[in-house]
């Protein structure tokens, strides 16, 4: 047992709150003293780029690269990630050793009591291709405007009038202590892995992996793995709009998903039920969604 767990995390308030959840879980489950856990904030490339849409700059590795390096160089023992920000294909050197119980997976709308209540042509701030496409598919009249920065920054930009409304993950708002902000959007599937916190370790470090596994929540791990497997089937880390949600039922996993064109004019939806651990079923759903797409929609996923 290591005398000390050094937890690598991004330095944003949300990332730090998530690292503290992991620290608390480790402390309680493994009966550690406060001096046995240290949270190590690490600035990532994604944190430093505030002026451009991230899709322009590069893939999701923006959030993981510096945390990976710290793990690989032995400066930290585990990394805490929002699973939503973890790229689909990870280097073999790392493995997700556990996920905490998933929070509310849904998005919240801030700035109006419902999507229908938004005035015609309202400006909705989001830099997420998925949120933009889903909004436009319901309300083609809306104006999507880019908005970046951490949760507090985005809320401030909204107050300053840069947009009339915005969408944020319920999970993030709750973890930041804002359960009252906005209204939950029920009819909209969120991003794959939304609401899940993952703990990554070096793939060959069985000792730490074994200890960390003790705080893992199996249903979350099974469902998030299914959503990530669907992404693999869609071609990995495309910037194309994808929404997906797996839920554990009695004996089965139910996976729902949709892919959209960026302008929301075309959507392909589907769902599948399968036994937990079936790695082929999510791939089959991905193939079906692509097969049932128009050439225009399918072209979003050819990369």
Active site positions, annotated = 85
Q: Which is nearer to ligand PBG, 21 or 283 (CB)?
A: 21
Instruction: List Cβ neighbours of 48 (8 Å cut-off, separation of 6 or more).
Output: none
Q: Which is nearer to ligand PBG, 8 or 195 (CB)?
A: 195
User: How many of the chain's residues bind ligand PBG (CB under 6 A)?
Assistant: 9
Of residues 64 through 103, those in contact with ligand PBG by CB under 6 A are: 82, 84-85
Query: Per-residue x/- mask for ligand PBG, residues 137 to 176, rule CB under 6 A?
Result: -------------------------------xx-xx----
CB count within 10 Å of CB 297 equals: 21
Instruction: List Cβ neighbours of 265 (8 Å cut-off, separation of 6 or more).
Output: 136, 137, 140
State the nearest-atom distance from the C-beta of 172 to ligand PBG, in Å.
Answer: 3
Q: Which is nearer to ligand PBG, 77 or 85 (CB)?
A: 85
State the nearest-atom distance from the C-beta of 198 to ligand PBG, in Å.
Answer: 10
State the nearest-atom distance from the C-beta of 84 to ligand PBG, in Å.
Answer: 5
Q: Which is nearer to ligand PBG, 168 or 286 (CB)?
A: 168
State the nearest-atom distance from the C-beta of 278 to ligand PBG, in Å.
Answer: 25
Of residues 173 through 212, those in contact with ligand PBG by CB under 6 A are: 194-195
Q: Which is nearer to ligand PBG, 231 or 281 (CB)?
A: 231
State the nearest-atom distance from the C-beta of 222 to ligand PBG, in Å.
Answer: 17
Q: Tokens for 23?
A: 């620290």
Query: Per-residue x/- mask for ligand PBG, residues 218 to 257, rule CB under 6 A?
Result: ----------------------------------------
Residues of this chain that bind ligand PBG (CB under 6 A): 82, 84-85, 168-169, 171-172, 194-195
């Amino acid at each position: 047992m290591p005398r000390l767990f050094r937890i690598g995390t991004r330095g944003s308030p949300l990332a730090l709150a998530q690292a503290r959840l992991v620290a608390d879980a480790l402390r309680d489950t493994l009966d550690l003293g406060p001096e046995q856990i240290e949270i190590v904030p690490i600035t990532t490339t994604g944190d430093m780029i505030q002026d451009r849409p991230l899709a322009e700059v590069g893939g999701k590795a923006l959030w993981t690269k510096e945390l990976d390096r710290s793990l690989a160089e032995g400066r930290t023992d585990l990394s805490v990630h929002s699973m939503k920000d973890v790229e689909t294909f990870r280097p073999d050197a790392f493995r997700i050793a556990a996920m905490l119980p998933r929070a509310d997976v849904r998005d919240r709308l801030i700035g109006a009591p419902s999507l229908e209540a938004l005035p015609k042509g309202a400006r909705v701030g989001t830099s997420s291709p998925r949120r933009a496409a889903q909004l436009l598919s319901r309300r083609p009249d809306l104006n999507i405007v880019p908005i970046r920065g951490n949760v507090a920054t985005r809320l401030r930009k909204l107050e300053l009038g840069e947009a009339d409304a915005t969408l944020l993950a319920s999970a993030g708002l709750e973890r930041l202590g804002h359960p009252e902000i906005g209204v939950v959007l029920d009819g909209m599937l969120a991003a794959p892995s939304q609401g899940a916190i993952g703990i990554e370790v070096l793939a060959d470090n069985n000792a730490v992996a074994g200890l960390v596994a003790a705080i893992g929540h199996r249903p979350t791990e099974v469902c998030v793995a299914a959503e990530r497997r669907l992404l693999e089937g869609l071609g990995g880390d495309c910037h194309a709009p994808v929404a997906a949600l797996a839920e554990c039922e009695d004996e089965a996993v139910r996976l729902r998903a949709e892919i959209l064109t960026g302008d929301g004019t075309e959507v392909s939806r589907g769902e599948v039920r399968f036994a937990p651990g079936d790695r082929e079923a999510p791939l089959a759903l991905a193939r079906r969604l692509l097969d049932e797409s128009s050439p225009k929609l399918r072209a979003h996923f050819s990369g």
